[in-house]
Amino acid sequence: MIEIRAIIDLLNRKSREDFEDHITACLAYEGNLDSYDYNFKRRLDRLLNFFEPYEIEVFEGETTLVKTHVITLLPETMRCVFYNPLSPSCFIYPARPLTCRMFPYEVRENSLVMVDEADKCPGVGIGEAVNLSRHRRLSMMCQRLLHQEDQVFWEFAQRQGLMKKQAAKSHSLISKRLIDPFVKLGLVPEPSRNKMH
């Protein structure tokens, strides 16, 4: 959630021209410059509302508690909404999440391993050699953040009386009332559709 706040802060500092340049480049790459106004508005909305529920826990009654968020992928291409394939560059590079900073490595059972998708990354093999001590620090930071978010989630669930007596299980979002504890506790701002300057 710290990462989401950092991205929102960065987006709030971007100018209209920044957004226009990024969106136009992406639409041109995709061949979607027809109906420009409509496609521009849709992509702008995706940028400003970039995080979506990913993992959920089901509780008694009609309440579903959202546990975590991920950055939206474009459904047509499964590409990150912040990635500009023309440059190639990242629209939020200074505030990119830890998972992006660590790519092509990820943490598995307290060790760093190279992910299978690494061969698709245009940056692999370019730039300085990997600093393993830096990546170990990132790995520990990542684990701390995940642990903190888990604690916030379960403490909120207990205080609200939302915890199910049986083990929680994955479930569809359909017909459920959603609660995002991180938004409700003020740890993550509610996504706004009119944040662009």
H or E segment at 71? strand 63-71
Q: Greater confidence, 92 or 137?
A: 92
Domain layout of the chain by residue ranges: 2-184
Residues 6+ apart with CB under 8 A from 62: 175, 176, 177
Structure tokens at 138: 């990132």
Residue 176: the pLDDT is 64
| Bridge partners of residue 69, in order along the sequence | 53
Top-confidence range, 30-34, 71-75, 81-85, 103-107: 81-85
Could you give the CA distance from residue 40 to residue 146 in angstroms, rounded to a whole number?
34
Residue 168: the pLDDT is 47
Size of the chain in residues: 197
Residue 57: the pLDDT is 75
DSSP state of 80: B
With a cut of 60, say whether residue 167 has pLDDT above it: no
| Bridge partners of residue 76, in order along the sequence | none
Residue 149: the pLDDT is 84
**What pTM does this model have?**
0.74
Residue showing tokens 């669930």: 157
* Residue 83, CA distances (Å) to 64, 87, 158 in order: 31, 9, 38
User: CB burial class (10 A; 0-12, 13-18, 19+) of residue 108?
Assistant: exposed
Angle at 51 between CA 32 and CA 28, to 5 degrees: 15
Could you give the CA distance from residue 42 to residue 161 in angstroms, rounded to a whole number?
38
Q: Tens digits of per-residue pLDDT, 73-82?
A: 888 888 899 9
Q: Tens digits of per-residue pLDDT, 5-27?
A: 899 999 999 999 999 999 999 98
With a cut of 80, say whether residue 174 has pLDDT above it: no
